[in-house]
Amino acid sequence: MDESGRQQQLWDQWAPHYNAEHHERDPAPAAEFLASLAGTGGRALELAVGTGRIALPLADLGTPVMGLDVSPNMLDELHRHRGDRPVTTRVGDMADLDTGGERYELIYVAFSSFYFLMTQPRQAACLQQIADALAPGGRFVIEATVPRAPGLLAGRQQLAIRDQSDTHLSLSAITHDPIAQTIHFQELRFDQTGMRLLPVAMRYVHLSELDLLATAAGLTLADRYADWRRTPLTSASTQHISVYTPTGAAP
């Protein structure tokens, strides 16, 4: 099975549980940030759109969204909640992005989903195709975890307790390969109905590497923040919001 097929298999498993697993994450700040970049009449393309956690509230703010995802099951969950919002979807691999010549004022990928491209060449190919699909003056936005030596990346194997109660236990089993820059999670959920396995595989990218890949693709860093509220990024930040423009475009 190729990488795209494996990622589809993983996220098809997640689809019925994804919204419940992430119900505490408020999408409003992300939607407001992205709507401000799309501008009046701008269209957005979300890569790894999933169940529409950001796309649906962004559409509520007046920005039409095309959502791409490798998992048909995730897109089925999105359409269960879409209503009449201007959100359309397509099954596809973001490393093989084909917009049919369509250009977008805004392209974004959130929640470290860019890391689901498991090799540097696939990440580079994705950025190149993003650059080709941006309208003049458009913006590409990536939200991702900042790789850090303490915590997750300190060891090669970890078992973490996420949550527990009298009726529920959530664990994360983690393996880390610092040479390949890959992390494999197995999210384990135990309750009175039994056990559930929710796997994740990713290749993280350091900020300097991301900027080099973006530059090679014809993208220039315009802004970088610690969160969707534009908090300044510091050495203690755990995530970043990076905004790129086509090289040569006015920031």
Q: Tens digits of per-residue pLDDT, 187-243?
A: 888 888 877 778 889 999 999 999 999 999 999 999 999 999 999 999 999 999 999
- Predicted local confidence at residue 154, as pLDDT: 52
Burial class (CB in 10 A: 0-12, 13-18, 19+), 234: exposed
Does pLDDT of 251 surpass 60?
no
Write out the E strands in the chain.
44-47, 65-69, 87-91, 104-109, 134-145, 157-164, 168-177, 182-191, 194-203, 219-225, 239-246
| Low-confidence winner among 11-20, 24-33, 64-73, 170-179 (lowest mean pLDDT) | 11-20
Least confident of 81-90, 94-103, 226-235: 94-103
State what percent of residues in the chain have pLDDT above 70. 95
Residue 11 sits at φ, ψ, to 5 deg, of -80, -25
Position 150 confidence tier, pLDDT thresholds 50, 70, 90:
very low
pLDDT band, residue 156 (cuts 50/70/90): low
Share of the chain above pLDDT 90, in %: 66
Domains of the chain, by residue range, sit at 3-147+206-246, 151-202
pTM above 0.95, yes or no: no
Taking residues 182-191, report their average pLDDT: 85
In this structure, is the dihedral angle defined by the CA atoms of residues 125, 128, 132 and 134, taken in order, positive or negative?
positive
Beta bridge partners of 188: 171, 197
Task: Judge contact between 219 and 123, C-beta under 8 A.
Answer: no
Q: Which fold has domain 3-147+206-246?
A: Rossmann fold (3.40.50)
Residue linked to tokens 């419940």: 20
Residue 174 has which token pair?
């983690």
Q: What is the pLDDT of residue 67?
A: 97
Domain 151-202 has CATH 3.90.15.10: no
Question: pLDDT tens digit string along 121-132?
Answer: 999 999 999 999
Burial class (CB in 10 A: 0-12, 13-18, 19+), 161: exposed
Q: What is the pLDDT of residues 33-42, one digit of tens each?
A: 999 999 989 9
Residue partners of 7: CB distance under 8 A and separation at least 6: 70, 71, 116, 118, 201
Per-residue confidence band for 249, with pLDDT thresholds at 50, 70 and 90: low
Largest interatomic CA distance in the chain: 58
b/e burial code for range 47-80 (CB count within 10 A of at least 16 → b): bbbbbbbbbbbbbeeebbbbbbbbbebbbebbee
Question: Across all residues in the chain, what is the average pLDDT?
Answer: 90
